[in-house]
Chain A
Amino acid sequence: MKKVTKFLSVNTSIPILIGIMIIATILDVSFMAPGNLFNVFNQNAIKGIMAIGMSFVILNGFFDMSLCTLLSLTAALACGLQPKIGVAGAVLVALLVGLIVGIINGLLVAYVGINAFVVTLALMLGCRGFAYIYPDEQSISATSDAFRAFGTGKLGPLTYISWLYIIGLLIAHYVLRYTSHGRNTYAAGGNASAAENAGINVRKTIFINFVICGVLSGLGGILYAAQNGASTPALGWPDMHMLVIAGVVLGGSKLSGGYGNIWYSLIGVMILGVVNNIMSITNAQPWVSTFCTGAIMIAVLIADKFLSDARAKAGLKN
């Protein structure tokens, strides 16, 4: 029992998620139906996949704002190139674009030394331009049946995309926990100059993390295109990156870097997912849902602050 209390007081986001789920059940019992719970997971799998990439960057002490329009761009590419070079080619090109944007972000932040907020904001604007220019400001539908089938198909109760998310979580957990790159990420995020002095190549670590985030954001766009069977230029604009960052932070990872893990991003994304889900079950007006998302972001931050203050008082270390 003592172990459980300690676990919960370290992972403060778990009691918060459970609390929100209990409130959701009180509002509508059908929330707890297994089908609906799987539904919540399926609906938020893509956001979760992008949150994996964002976690790497945030644990490193930065964040990536270019995600929101990069995913619109890769979605447009994945749909628009299908008739010309086939599905595999289109997906590869879209992933390549994600990779390139990640590389540009990484180079400018790690090696040129420009503030990450500025770099990724600039790239966000640039990607937004191309996301509209490439498809001529039109929506594009996906022509390939296999592509759409992958986006909507299910294996057991979960969609293919959800399985992809689970695999991604496990790989990310392994990388963060058991590889030198993962340990370097924590070290560089906690104290960059100490890490540098300890012989860690901080710049390379930052660079790799931005590349991971770029590729996974690109993948997120492709998966959205597959799930919806089409792409629109305004897919992620204006706040998808903020929702993903909020997901990671609500889970309990510190935005200043060095503290957190990949499961926090899962919990944070699910907190936002549960709120959205219960709003659509109870047929709330759109503004109620927006309001609750905002209010809950603030409430979770406040709750986390008081819980971690209590944790600090109780003498537990992070």
Chain B
Amino acid sequence: MEQNKKMGVGGFLKSQALLMVGIIIFIIFGLLQHSFFTTANIVNIFRQIAVIAIMGAGMTYAIIGGNFDLSVGSLLSLCGSVVIVTTNQVGQVGSVLITILVGCLSGVLCGYLCGYLHLNSMVATLGMMNVLQALTLMYTKGQFVSLDNSDLPIVGLGQGNVGIVPISVIIMAIFCVVFAIILKRTVFGHHVKAVGTNPETCRYSGINDNRIVMLTFVISGFSTAVAAILLAMRGAGAQPTMGLGYEFDVITAVILGGADLNGGEGSIYRTFVGALIIGIMKTGFVILGMSVYYQYVAECVIILLAVYMDIRASRKGVKK
């Protein structure tokens, strides 16, 4: 436990540094364009990142467990289409349940391939990405799908507010807190970290490492399904390609959060801060009226700087 506390303090300081980077970027945009500091804009930033932060929370589990999940972008498209079409067909409660079931099933399949068959997670989930994209195209026939009745309460998940806080932001907050508690305070969370660090040792000490890896993928699929519901409800419709490239945004958020890509290390809070930085930049470049593609160049520089600083900090730590 002693060591655990130390890790906690170190991790907290690191995450503070990342938060500082976020605040500095925020202030720079604010100085360039004063409307950036308005409450409406800040609320907007949080609404923007809800999807990435929720998916990032799930992806953090997969990455801590030592695997990548590249299928989440396509799964987002599939679940978005499913929730819209099934709301039209079977109603709201049924559609949410079905969508979450679809997300979890995809997670089970990815988890079986990577956990039980020990396939390389990058290529296996890339295969799943293709399969899910194909299923989306088949399911929607390549068409945009929209809600027949956009007055349903479920639409509030994407568009509604409580006071000035969007409901999607509240869901994001609950999601991140619950996932962080599971990761930090439960046996399962510790098992995930242990399996990510060394699966062999875990097997010898009686942890079912195959099952743990599979569960991390199920969590990733589940959170993607939730994110898809929010994203689809925000526009009350879904494009079959709406999730294209999302996996890279999500992985970028996790990387900015300083998770160890070899597994074993990472935190939901820091992933959230990583998502926040992406959100600030996305909104910032739009508000400045610059091409959205400058954002990619900025992201490139910020990722490299953040990771470089991280490495320097840990090297200094070793020297001391």
Chain A residues close to B by CB (< 8 Å): 63, 108, 112-115, 117-119, 121-126, 128-130, 132-133, 137, 237-239, 242, 245-246, 249-250, 255, 285-291, 293-298, 301-302, 305
Contacts and interface: CB of A to CB of B under 8 A. Distances in A.
Given A118-B261, A125-B299, A126-B296, A297 B255 contact: no
A291 B123 contact: no
Interface stretch (B26-34, B83-91, B132-140): B132-140
Contact of B129 (A114, A119, A250, A294): A294
Contacts of A125: 248, 252, 296-297, 299-300, 303
A112 B311 contact: yes
A86 B248 CA distance: 36
B118 interface: yes
Interface string B23-57: 00000000000000000000000000000000000
Interface in B121-150: 122-124, 126-135, 137-138, 142
B301 interface: yes
B308 interface: yes
B242 interface: no
B291 interface: yes
Contact of A291 (B117, B131, B244): B131
Contact of B127 (A108, A118, A298): A298
A250 to B, nearest CB: 8
Contacts of A249: 120, 123
Nearest to B247: A238
Contacts of A239: 126, 129
A183 to B, nearest CB: 25
A164 B278 CA distance: 41
Interface string B290-320: 0101111111110110011001000000000
B119 interface: yes
What range describes how many residues of B lie at the interface? Answer: 35 or more
A287 B248 contact: no
What 7 pairs between A and B have smallest CB-CB spacing?
Answer: A294-B130, A126-B300, A291-B134, A129-B296, A297-B127, A129-B297, A287-B137
B171 interface: no
Which of A128, A290, A302 has the largest count of B CB atoms less than 10 A from its CB? Answer: A290
B100 interface: no
Which of A117, A118, A238 has the largest count of B CB atoms less than 10 A from its CB? Answer: A118
A287 B240 CA distance: 11
Nearest to A63: B122
A291 B303 contact: no
Given A126-B300, A130-B297, A301 B127 contact: yes
B8 interface: no
B227 interface: no
29 contacts: A114-B308, A115-B261, A117-B261, A118-B303, A121-B248, A122-B300, A122-B304, A125-B248, A126-B301, A132-B293, A133-B294, A238-B245, A245-B123, A246-B123, A285-B138, A286-B137, A287-B133, A287-B135, A287-B138, A290-B133, A291-B131, A291-B138, A294-B134, A295-B131, A297-B127, A298-B113, A298-B119, A298-B131, A301-B124
A290 B248 contact: no
A309 B261 CA distance: 27
Which of B135, B298, B304 has the largest count of A CB atoms less than 10 A from its CB? Answer: B304
Which of A119, A125, A238, A286 has the largest count of B CB atoms less than 10 A from its CB? Answer: A125
Contacts of B135: 287, 291
A169 B275 CA distance: 42
Contacts of B248: 121, 124-125, 238
A301 B123 contact: yes
Given A238-B248, A287-B135, 13 more contacts: A117-B261, A118-B261, A125-B248, A128-B296, A129-B293, A129-B295, A130-B297, A242-B126, A255-B122, A287-B137, A290-B131, A291-B135, A294-B126
B251 interface: yes
B70 interface: yes
Given A129-B300, A305-B117, A118 B307 contact: yes
A114 B258 CA distance: 12
Contacts of B133: 287, 290, 294
Contact of B131 (A113, A117, A118, A294): A294
Given A246-B123, A298-B113, A298-B127, A115 B307 contact: yes
Given A129-B293, A129-B295, A301-B120, A294 B300 contact: no
Contacts of A295: 127, 130-131
Interface in B73-90: 73
A285 B123 CA distance: 24
Interface string B230-252: 00000000000000110010011
A243 to B, nearest CB: 8
A242 B137 contact: no
Interface in B193-251: 244-245, 248, 251
Contacts of B131: 290-291, 294-295, 298
A132 B293 CA distance: 6
Contacts of A115: 261-262, 307
Nearest to A288: B134
A302 B295 contact: no
Contacts of A126: 296-297, 299-301
A283 B97 CA distance: 36
Nearest to A123: B300
Contact of B291 (A133, A289, A293): A133
